[in-house]
Amino acid sequence: MQVNMDYNSLTNVSLDGEFRSRSKTAEVTAISKALAGDMRLNHIDISLVHRHFSLSPDEKVVRVVSEKELRASAVKEHEDLLGAAWKCDLNGRWRPYEYVDAAVSSPLYVERCERLAHLLSDSNPAYSAAFAGEYCDVYGLSPSLEGIIDVVDKTPIELTDVNARISSIKARNKKDYSGHEITQTAWKINVDPGHATISCSVYCINCR
């Protein structure tokens, strides 16, 4: 069973400059090192736990994923929702804070969501330990967009319309945003044993 969590308790990355400027490389490398070699985490990313807007009690942030983009918006709760982005609480329990609409999303992305939910439902202590302490409020796990969104020679970048409460991750030219503050929000886990190298897989243009 997927236990809901309070989305509005997450850090609003648009408003928290200290959170945006936090040096993440060493922390993400430490998490990746703890998870390295676990082949079950293939195509699962370490993600920055954050939000850009608030929800009403009967709403969720729901992703619709296609080969062109990941589009996340505030919608009323309904059927066909699977946990997509997950965070660990201080008791080692994993809870989703964003969901995917399985009925209208990429089957490959849905499969990755189902696999991640199954892994986290097993209460694997290694996963909880990797995100223990202060990490649990900063980092989580989510399915990779690799091989789903066609990026060609571009970069997966997230833009958010705060007023409409819609975020979109799609292939964009990073150089077009050279004058903006950019935050890394997802990192590929190296599943090769003994390696802890990381590579950023999604960037976010911070909204004001």
Sequential pLDDT tens for the chain (208 residues): 344 568 999 988 877 777 877 778 888 988 988 888 888 899 999 999 999 999 999 999 999 999 999 999 999 877 789 999 999 988 888 999 999 999 999 999 999 999 999 999 876 788 899 998 888 999 999 999 999 998 888 999 999 999 999 999 999 998 888 777 788 899 988 777 655 567 788 989 865 4
Is 2 inside a domain boundary? no
For every residue of 127-173, DSSP letters joined together read HHHHT-GGGGGTEEEEE--TTTS--TTSEEEEEEETTTTEEEEEEE-
8-state DSSP, 179: T
Is 1 inside a domain boundary? no
**For residues 34 and 130, is the Cβ–Cβ distance under 8 A?**
yes
Residue 92 region by backbone torsions, left for phi larger than 0, else alpha for psi between -120 and 50, else beta:
left
Q: Return the CA Rg of the chain.
A: 16
Give the domain range for residue 128. Answer: 7-205
Q: Given this model, what pLDDT does residue 206 score?
A: 64
Q: What is the H or E stretch that residue 125 is in?
A: helix 125-130
The total of structural domains in the chain comes to 1
From the list 168, 200, 182, 186, the residue with the least C-alpha distance to 68 is 168
From the list 115, 101, 111, the residue with the least C-alpha distance to 71 is 101
Is 59 inside a domain boundary? yes
- N- to C-terminal Cα distance for the chain? 36
Residue 177 in tokens: 């945003």
Q: Given this model, what pLDDT does residue 3 score?
A: 47
Is 158 inside a domain boundary? yes
Q: Given this model, what pLDDT does residue 1 score?
A: 39
Q: What is the H or E stretch that residue 126 is in?
A: helix 125-130
Is 169 inside a domain boundary? yes
pTM across the whole model: 0.90
